[in-house]
Amino acid sequence: MLRIDRDRDAFLAIDVQNDFCAGGALAVADGDAVVAPVNALMARFTHVVATQDWHPADHASFAANHAGAAPFSTLAMPYGPQTLWPTHCVQGTPGAGFHPSFALDRATVILRKGFRAEVDSYSAFYENDKATPTGLAGLLRERGVERVIVAGLATDFCVSFTALDARRLGFEVCVVIGACRAIDLNGSLGAARGAWAQAGVAVVESGA
């Protein structure tokens, strides 16, 4: 059972967006299945953050912006290796919008990330350079939050990076794995779960 303290806990609903769901440009297998459990979780918290990938069309992580590069290949960036993705969640497009059944009205914060063209941003706390903060940590601390509960899309990228950064910043962290779905690119799901265990990220199956 996931016991929730409404004052000290926050729920982070990660990237429940059209492009990551069925028919989207970067659809995660069974991605739509996270909507109902994420909505149910959102209803139980005072502090609810909905993150939103919000990329410019010329974003450096898009394979289409590198001549001859294939989607899901890797390119060396100044901040390290970067997976090149199909063009997705472009600012102002329907694909960047939240899933139509997502209970956005329950969110008290909407955090847009990945809006800098030169660096990707999986985590809700930092750009992928691990140095440029989003400001979320300060916001949560000012609200008295000590633990974050994380779910959404995709388990092994934005959910995982968010969870690990939250631990690095000193928050207690729990991933609700049943309210997530993974890409699992070249073993990335197993690698993520191994990193969680090492970092002290708790995992529960559901929020019940």
Is residue 113 among the annotated active site residues? yes
**3 assigned to some structural domain:** no
Report how far residue 35's alpha carbon sits from residue 103's, in angstroms, rounded to the nearest whole number: 8
Residue 148 belongs to what domain range? 9-59+87-204
**45 assigned to some structural domain:** yes
pLDDT digits 0-9 by tens, 113-135: 999 999 999 999 999 999 999 99
What per-residue string of b and e applies to 84-123 under the rule 16 or more CB within 10 Å gives b?
Answer: bbebbbbeeeebbebbeebbbebbebebbbbebeebbbbb
Catalytic residue from among 158, 165, 174, 180: 158
DSSP for 153-171 reads: E-IIIIIHHHHHHHHHTT-
**177 assigned to some structural domain:** yes
Question: What pLDDT does 206 receive?
Answer: 86
Answer yes or no: is pLDDT of 208 > 70.
Answer: no
**76 assigned to some structural domain:** no
Query: Are 180 and 12 in contact, with CB atoms under 8 Å apart?
Result: no
Query: Are 169 and 195 in contact, with CB atoms under 8 Å apart?
Result: no
Is residue 15 among the annotated active site residues? yes
**143 assigned to some structural domain:** yes
Answer yes or no: is pLDDT of 21 > 70.
Answer: yes
Number of neighbouring beta carbons within 10 Å of residue 32: 18
Count of domains forming the chain: 1
| CATH code, domain carrying 157 | 3.40.50.850
Question: What pLDDT does 2 receive?
Answer: 87
Q: Spell out the alpha helix ranges (H) of the chain.
A: 35-42, 136-142, 160-168, 188-199
**4 assigned to some structural domain:** no
Structure-block tokens of residue 16: 């429940």
Select from 36, 51, 8 the least CA-distant residue to 165. Answer: 51
Instruction: Name residue, tokens 């388990």.
Output: 155
Number of neighbouring beta carbons within 10 Å of residue 164: 21
Mean pLDDT for the chain overall:
96
**94 assigned to some structural domain:** yes
Question: What pLDDT does 105 receive?
Answer: 97
- What integer is the mean pLDDT of 163-187? 96
Angle between helices 160-168 and 188-199 (to 10 degrees): 20
Report how far residue 138's alpha carbon sits from residue 75's, in angstroms, rounded to the nearest whole number: 32
- What integer is the mean pLDDT of 27-36? 97
Catalytic residue from among 19, 21, 53, 113: 113
Amino acid at 131: A
**82 assigned to some structural domain:** no
Select from 148, 142, 151, 138 the least CA-distant residue to 172. Answer: 148
